[in-house]
Structure 1
Amino acid sequence: MYRARVRGCLLGGAVGDALGYPVEFSSLDRIRAAHGPHGVTGLVPSPGGAGAVGLISDDTQMTLFTVEGVRQAHERERHKGIGGGWSRMVRWAYARWLETQLRTGPEDSEVARPTGGGSYAGPRGGLVTERWLYARRAPGNACLSGLAQDFVPDPEAELGRPGPVNSDSKGCGAVMRSAPFGLTRTDPGTAFSMAARCAQMTHGHPTGYYAAGALAAIVAHIVAGDSVEGAVLRTLRLLARYPGHEETTAALEQALDLAAQGSPTPERLERLGGGWIAEEALAIGVYSALAVPRVADALLLAVNHSGDSDSTGSVCGNILGARHGDHGLPHAWVAQVEGRDRIAALADDLAAECVPD
Structure 2
Amino acid sequence: MQAAQMRQILYAGIVGDAFGVPVEFNERDTYRVTTMTGQGTWEQPRGSWSDDTSLTLALMDNLTTDGTYADLFERFQAFMMWGAYTPRDETFDIGKTCAHAIRNRFINQLAPTACGDPSEFANGNGALMRLAPLALVLSDEADITTRLQLTRDYTAMTHRHPRAILGSYLYLECLHAMLSGVPLRTALATVPAQVQAVAEPEVIAEWAHYAPYLTPTISELSRNQIRSTGYVVDTFGAALWCTAKAQTIQEAILLAANLGGDTDTVATIAATWAAVRYPTQTVPTSWQAALVNPARLAAYIEPFVTKFGH
TM-score by length of 1: 0.74
1:98 aligns with 2:98: no
Deviations 1:277-304 (A, max 9, x none): 1122112111111112122111111121
**What secondary structure does 1:299 align onto?**
helix
For residues 130-169 of structure 1, the aligned pairs below 5 Å read 132=87, 134-150=89-105, 151-152=110-111, 165-168=116-119, 169=122
Name which of structure 1's ranges 222-231 and 134-143 shifts more when overlaid on structure 2. 222-231
CA distance in 2, matches of 1:5, 1:51: 29
**Correspondence for 2:260 among 306, 318, 323:** 306
Q: Shift in Å at residue 134 of structure 1?
A: 2.5
Q: Contact 1:181/1:191 (CA < 8 Å) preserved in 2? A: no
Return the offset for 1:72: 2.1
Is there any run of 5+ residues in structure 2 with no aligned partner, and where?
Answer: none
SS of match in other structure, 2:104 = coil
In structure 2, do the counterparts of structure 1 residues 269 and 92 end up closer, same or farther at CA, with 3 Å as the change threshold? farther
Q: Secondary structure at the match of 1:30?
A: coil
1:256, 1:295 → 2: CA distance? Answer: 21
Give the 3-state SS of the residue equivalent to 2:229 in structure 1. coil
Alpha-carbon deviations, 1:228-249, whole Å to 9, x = none? Answer: 3333444312321322335456
What is the CA RMSD across the aligned residues, in angstroms?
2.7
Report the 3-state secondary structure (helix = DSSP H, G, I; strand = E; otherwise coil) of the residue aligned with 1:148: helix
Separation in 1 of the partners of 2:293 and 2:194?
Answer: 35
Q: CA deviation at 1:321?
A: 2.2
TM-score when scaled to structure 2? 0.85
* Matched position secondary structure for 2:116: coil
Aligned to 2:8: 8
Identify the residue that residue 218 of structure 2 maps to in structure 1: 259
Give the AA of the match of 2:92: R
8 Å Cα contact 2:183/2:277 also seen in 1: yes
**TM-aligned CA distance change 1:235 to 1:98, over 3 Å:** farther
Q: CA deviation at 1:100?
A: 2.7
The answer to whether the 8 A contact 1:170-1:205 is kept is yes
Gaps of 5+ in 1: 32-38, 74-85, 106-127, 155-162, 263-267
C-alpha contact 2:219 2:241 (8 A) present in aligned 1: no
Give the Cα separation in 2 of the matches to 1:21 and 1:131. 13
**Residues 26-105 of structure 1: matches in 2 within 5 Å?**
26-31=26-31, 39-47=32-40, 52-73=45-66, 89-103=68-82
User: What residue number does 2:164 align with?
Assistant: 208
The structure-2 alpha-carbon separation of the partners of 1:205 and 1:317, relative to structure 1 and needing over 3 Å to count, comes to same
Is 1:220–2:154 an aligned residue pair? Answer: no
Q: Secondary structure at the match of 1:28?
A: coil
What residue is the counterpart of 1:80 in the other structure?
none
Deviations 1:194-241 (A, max 9, x none): 122211111121111221232222222222222233334443123213
Name the residue aligned to 1:110: none
